[in-house]
Amino acid sequence: MKTYKICLLPGDGIGPEIMAQACKVLDALARRFDIGFEYDKQLIGGCAIDATGQPLPEASLEAARHSDAVLLGAVGGPKWDSTDPNQPRPEQGLLRIRKELGLYANLRPVTVFDALAAASPLKPEIIEGVDLMIVRELTGGLYFGMRERFYDEDGSGPDGAKGQRAYDTLEYREYEIERIARHAFETAEKRRGRLHSVDKANVLETSRMWREIVHDIASDYPSVELFDMLVDNTAMQLVHNPGQFDVIVTENTFGDILSDEASMLSGSLGMLASASLGDGVALYEPSHGSAPDIAGLGIANPLAQILSVEMMLRYSLDEAQAADAIHQAVAAVLAEGWRTGDIADADTPADHRVGTDQMGDLIVERL
């Protein structure tokens, strides 16, 4: 029997509540399939600051490094909000673990479960069957380039007027584009074999290089059909015809904006998982935050966390069967009409409105 070591970082707010459901699901998978899970639970975020003064204690980082995968809940809350730049902040823990593990690829799937099509702001016929993945480059591009803001003494304004100037630079090295593109091709190979490489090659030099590199390596992935699309057109196509997309790969800033746009297709934050991958241990977490407004009430939707477990099984542990089983269980529970508060509507009968724990139990029953 194969046993996987999972580093658990529940974090703050609803993090521990939804993480408990993820563990129940993992234990159920262990009973059904010939696999085992060993958990190493550690601190991150506000709870880590309270216990150790650090948002990411060394013990947490070490546990993450020595695991097969890291499963994170969420960090943050009003208790640790401070305008004092010298105070440690919960999100510093997140930024540090991503940096230390070298996580340069962010995967955000958008799956519209048929039963939830009405929750989308788009018409059901546009949204039906949407199942796409955005692969965003996470450690380069515009967010990490050289930037400066200064007062221009040379007077480069109209009629020699002095004033402020600022610039940000978008820079990529060949290896950075190649490694994210390979992740995207490999992801497309495991899905429906369609890859849209999104750029602004009609204007930007980095985009022209991006396009060349992506095309150069495409021959290594003969089962994947490659399409180029300009980022402005992609923004439009995501609401016009999202069903055409399988995998989208793009630059850091483009990916940040497009993944937020795409997240609204599903209509609920409580359903969206994410993965951050590098060349070693990867990290899986829901896309939402710690929801301090509902923490401790037992009403948080655990499905984004449970769908993060699905991604972990698929991308880090290569347990596709177990991953599929989670997906089917979530689809079945939703099709039967079970809803946490965030995805319920006026048509949801009172006896199908459930809390965090019950939703976890329903998924476990299906497994």
Q: Which residues bind ligand NAD (CB under 6 A)?
A: 14, 74-77, 91, 94, 269-270, 285, 288-294, 300-301, 304, 342
Q: How far is the CB of 107 from ligand NAD (least distance, A)?
A: 14
Q: How far is the CB of 77 from ligand NAD (least distance, A)?
A: 5
Residue among 199, 246, 256, 342 flagged as catalytic: 256
Give the contacts of 237 (CB within 8 A, at least 6 positions apart).
Answer: 229, 244, 245
Q: How far is the CB of 75 from ligand NAD (least distance, A)?
A: 4
Q: How far is the CB of 14 from ligand NAD (least distance, A)?
A: 6
Q: Which is nearer to ligand NAD, 49 or 94 (CB)?
A: 94
Q: How far is the CB of 70 from ligand NAD (least distance, A)?
A: 13
Q: Which is nearer to ligand NAD, 73 or 278 (CB)?
A: 73
196: exposed, middle or buried (Cβ count in 10 Å: 0-12, 13-18, 19+): buried
Q: Which is nearer to ligand NAD, 97 or 117 (CB)?
A: 97
Residue among 81, 114, 216, 260 flagged as catalytic: 260
Q: How far is the CB of 207 from ligand NAD (least distance, A)?
A: 29
Q: Are 330 and 50 in contact (CB under 8 A)?
A: no
d(CA 136, CA 157): 37
Cα 310 to the center of its chain, rounded Å = 12
CA distances from 231 to 103, 126, 203, 204, 208 (A): 23, 20, 11, 11, 13
d(CA 337, CA 347): 10
Q: Are 288 and 272 in contact (CB under 8 A)?
A: yes
Q: Which is nearer to ligand NAD, 191 or 353 (CB)?
A: 353
Q: How far is the CB of 109 from ligand NAD (least distance, A)?
A: 16
172 is a catalytic site residue = no
Residue among 200, 228, 357, 361 flagged as catalytic: 200
d(CA 200, CA 207): 6
Q: Which is nearer to ligand NAD, 81 or 318 (CB)?
A: 81
Q: Which is nearer to ligand NAD, 122 or 271 (CB)?
A: 271
143 is a catalytic site residue = yes
d(CA 353, CA 345): 10
Q: Which is nearer to ligand NAD, 246 or 342 (CB)?
A: 342
d(CA 159, CA 325): 68
256 is a catalytic site residue = yes
342 is a catalytic site residue = no
Strand partners, 37: 4
Question: Side chain identity at 341, as an amino acid letter?
Answer: G
d(CA 279, CA 327): 26
Active site residues: 143, 200, 232, 256, 260
